[in-house]
């Protein structure tokens, strides 16, 4: 268990370092609001779609393709999404409902979940995690686009506008463009892959610096109640429900542990980028990311300890 704790810290510490770097750069006035606006737009429209595109075309979709595992993950994701949304309707101000919902169900599986799965189960964890990651990308982005569009101050919530917001979302476009390349194994020129990789590698540092530059004690104070509620939903209640459901459906050992790690991942940095893109309460989105990333060091290890104690993994 100490090894898992060290691995979790090794993954989350660089994330926090980049967040605090954003805070420091804003204090030193090396970056300003104009930079944050431009960089967030670049991540949303360019670097993150490129990252998603490359991650899918590089994945071996035939490896560890388990319909039952994927089917349960999609089902549980939908259930968690609707639970979070229903709770947000009951407990949150209308303007914050989309941000709360996205923060409560959208996990950072590409960094935290996949890295921990690979650390614990080697090639099997990497292959299963990569296949789940492709499903995650599509589910999370479609559901987030829907709920953010409904509560966006700049958009109407009619069916046509919702469909338009989904299919015009650069993240979803990146995923959809990648599917035929991955399925038919269409090769891209070496120079295009290398250049695309250079471009995509800017995604996480830029997004985290922007989040850090947005954080302030005032914004954290103002959003603390909603942010803590969303964070508890993301890190405690929904992983508990989804993992117990997976056990009830018969998943055990490595499969159950990988599902738990994906459900228990902290909120993804992409939630901030999407919140900013629709002119939502991105300060709240930033606060949720910070709280859940910090909480992951504790909740992930406690969850794995309980699963091992019960003899399920």
Q: Check residue 105 and give its pLDDT.
A: 96
Asked whether the predicted pLDDT for residue 210 surpasses 90, the reply is: yes
The pLDDT value recorded for residue 64 is: 55
Cβ within 8 Å of residue 73, ≥6 positions away: 132, 135, 136, 259, 262
**pLDDT, tens only, 79-106:** 999 999 999 999 899 999 999 999 999 9
Neighbours of 260 (CB within 10 A): 27
The pLDDT value recorded for residue 117 is: 86
Per-residue pLDDT, 266: 93
Question: Could you give the domains of the chain?
Answer: 2-309 (1.20.1530.20)
Q: Model-level pTM?
A: 0.87
pLDDT tens-digit map of 147-158: 998 998 776 667
- Per-residue pLDDT of 222-259, as tens digits, reads 778 999 999 999 999 999 999 999 999 999 999 999 99
Nearest to 272 by CA among 216, 191, 226, 209: 209
Which residue would you say has higher pLDDT here, 48 or 242?
242
Residues 54-83 have pLDDT tens digits of 888 876 666 556 889 999 999 999 999 999
Query: What token pair was written down for 305?
Result: 């300890």
CA dist 135 and 71 (Å) reads 10
Q: Where are the beta strands (DSSP E) in the chain?
A: none
């Amino acid at each position: 268990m100490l090894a898992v704790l060290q691995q979790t810290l090794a993954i989350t510490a660089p994330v926090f370092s980049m967040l605090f770097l954003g805070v420091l750069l804003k204090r030193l006035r090396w970056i300003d609001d104009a930079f944050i606006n431009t960089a967030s737009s670049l991540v949303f429209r360019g670097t993150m779609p490129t990252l998603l595109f490359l991650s899918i075309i590089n994945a071996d979709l035939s490896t560890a393709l388990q319909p039952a595992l994927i089917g349960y993950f999609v089902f549980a994701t939908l259930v968690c999404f609707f639970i979070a949304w229903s709770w947000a309707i009951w407990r949150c101000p209308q303007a914050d409902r989309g941000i709360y919902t996205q923060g409560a169900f959208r996990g950072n599986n590409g960094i935290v979940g996949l890295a921990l799965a690979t650390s614990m189960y080697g090639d099997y964890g990497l292959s299963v995690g990569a296949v789940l990651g492709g499903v995650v990308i599509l589910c999370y982005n479609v559901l987030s686009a829907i709920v953010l569009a409904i509560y966006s101050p700049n958009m109407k919530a009619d069916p046509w506008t919702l469909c338009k917001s989904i299919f015009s979302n650069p993240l979803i476009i990146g995923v959809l463009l990648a599917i035929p390349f991955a399925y038919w194994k269409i090769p891209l020129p070496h120079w295009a892959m290398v250049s695309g990789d250079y471009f995509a590698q800017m995604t996480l540092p830029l997004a985290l610096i922007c989040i850090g530059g947005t954080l302030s004690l005032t914004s954290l104070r103002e959003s603390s109640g909603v942010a803590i509620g969303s964070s508890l939903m993301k890190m405690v209640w929904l992983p508990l429900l989804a993992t117990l459901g997976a056990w009830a459906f018969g998943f055990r050992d490595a499969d159950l542990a990988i599902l738990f790690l994906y459900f228990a991942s902290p909120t993804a940095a992409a939630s901030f980028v999407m919140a900013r893109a629709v002119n939502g309460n991105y300060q709240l989105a930033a606060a949720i990311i910070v709280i859940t990333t910090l909480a992951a060091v504790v909740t992930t290890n406690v969850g794995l300890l309980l699963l091992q104690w019960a003899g399920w993994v």
